[in-house]
Chain A
């Protein structure tokens, strides 16, 4: 019975305060969407890291006729030079670190290149002799690429040694910056949401100040007075959180899986099934935020 009364009071509060409640819903929606996007970006970064870091190789590019960098002097790496690089890779000092390596000659490099850039105009400009012969090295521990740099970087016939992870690091730091930005915006919006919820609850309490005064006089317990207001805030914020969950699901289904996946088919993007963890986080965060700011706002009215 008294629980019913509390629910009715909360519902009346929501109904009397529609415009404020709508603004609470919208602000919660936007802020939690940013929170969710930040979490999704982090999930994406993690999944890409674990996917790519293991596959990342160290490339030992050898000299071509046209290269002037490293130990090259516009001369193709000679078979002797190639053999000594290979010998170095096989040597006892490097062997424990190397999982496997293979040699790619001009024609193989050209074949891979044309496959990779199929449809692009650059394919017509490239000839096999432009592409360097390469030793592709898979390390047992991908973080130890510095050993290869030291061992073969200075050898004659080696143009350069490149850890593919350095390309990935650029992408990851970009994604990290984006998710930090999203977190920053989310924090600002969450502060706004908390203040807005507090204001809404205060307005609601003000419009019911007569009832509150009488409740206090006749000795209604504090939880009985507080609960409708806290419920009011939590309901509004939960509607906002649900909408934010919808927005996040929409982003994954239509933008990530629809647009990004079709334009970058080789990249593994997060799926809806990977990101379910975001939804309880958003719902919990919204409810907690609303309950605590509503509680603080209404406590003023309960000082005896």
Chain B
């Protein structure tokens, strides 16, 4: 379904590769977590599958297509097989829930009759059956993400890519989103989800692929979020207060290890580099 053979990605401005010699295979129907610190290559990984980027070396096969040989002209057609969900939802603020989901079908030239069947069905699937006519700003974050998921899967893609879909949501809401993703996966869609959300990864017990500085350092079936990297940070953390009485230590006014807070999924500084790159493409 998805196969990487020795894939490396080097950005023109970057001094180190965003992805280094990655080899892996994802089978149909799998649910895969991509974990790793910011800048570890998770987003590059997803962008490569989306064919927003081309690999610098190595081969990527998705759904039987060799992405290195896929011409730009054929990319739109290829992407119809993929659904994508982002941390920031990316809904159209002036369109209703129904129209946001319908937009994905309208731009593919689907008939109105088909749209009026498919959209309510998928909104029911994500649990928004009664909110068709709301505008995005009238919805909670979790509901907005459900709309985004509905839009991603309304065309029944074979693969769903999710780039930190719970990054802006509280744990309870995140669990609701994960239920939706699990249902979609159970229905046969392969799900690839990049995340920092320790609790979710530990709880789902699905395949975990961990990236660090562009390398795959772990690939476990039924894995958890726990990593070597965190163990090292934890070791470093202890000695800092060993030589003084705890009561004399002034509290820091910032979190020295923002990534190490298992209770808060959004505690890490949000990785906005992807958005910046998107902005650069705008002419103004």
Question: Which A residues contact B (CB, under 8 angstroms)?
Answer: 1-2, 5, 202-203, 205-206, 209-211, 213-222, 224-225, 300-301, 303-304
Contact = CB atoms under 8 A, between A and B. Distances in A.
A209 B282 contact: yes
Contact of A221 (B76, B93, B155): B76
A222 B79 CA distance: 12
Given A202-B283, A211-B103, A219 B108 contact: yes
A219 B78 CA distance: 7
A218 B283 contact: no
Contact of B104 (A5, A203, A218): A218
Contacts of B76: 216, 219-222, 304
A144 B106 CA distance: 73
Nearest to A224: B107
Nearest to A208: B92
A225 B109 CA distance: 12
Interface in B15-40: none
Contacts of A224: 107, 109
Contacts of B112: 1
B104 A211 contact: no
Contacts of A222: 73, 76
A122 B88 CA distance: 89
Contacts, number: 72
B260 to A, nearest CB: 33
Interface in B35-77: 50-52, 72-73, 75-77
A211 B92 contact: yes
A205 B108 CA distance: 19
Given A216-B79, A304-B52, 10 more contacts: A1-B110, A5-B107, A205-B283, A206-B282, A214-B151, A218-B104, A218-B108, A219-B80, A219-B81, A304-B72
A218 B282 contact: no
A2 B79 CA distance: 19
Nearest to A206: B284
Interface string B169-185: 00000000000000000
A210 B109 contact: no
Instruction: Categorize the interface residue count of chain B.
Output: 20 to 34
A216 B79 CA distance: 8
Given A213-B90, A304-B72, A304-B75, A220 B284 contact: no
Interface in B82-124: 82, 84, 90, 92-93, 103-104, 106-112
Given A211-B92, A221-B76, A304-B72, A2 B103 contact: no
Contacts of A211: 92, 103
21 contacts: A1-B110, A1-B111, A1-B112, A2-B106, A5-B106, A202-B284, A206-B282, A211-B92, A214-B90, A215-B107, A216-B76, A218-B79, A218-B155, A219-B81, A219-B108, A221-B77, A225-B107, A300-B281, A300-B283, A303-B281, A304-B51
Contact of A218 (B52, B93, B107): B107
B107 A213 contact: no
Nearest to A2: B109
A209 B79 CA distance: 18
A214 B80 contact: no
Contacts of B82: 219
Contacts of A202: 283-284
Contacts of B104: 214, 218
Greatest chain B CB density within 10 A among A211, A213, A221 is at A221
A215 B78 CA distance: 13
Contacts of B282: 206, 209
Contacts of B155: 218
Most buried by B among A203, A211, A218: A218
A304 to B, nearest CB: 4
Given A217-B79, A218-B155, A206 B51 contact: no
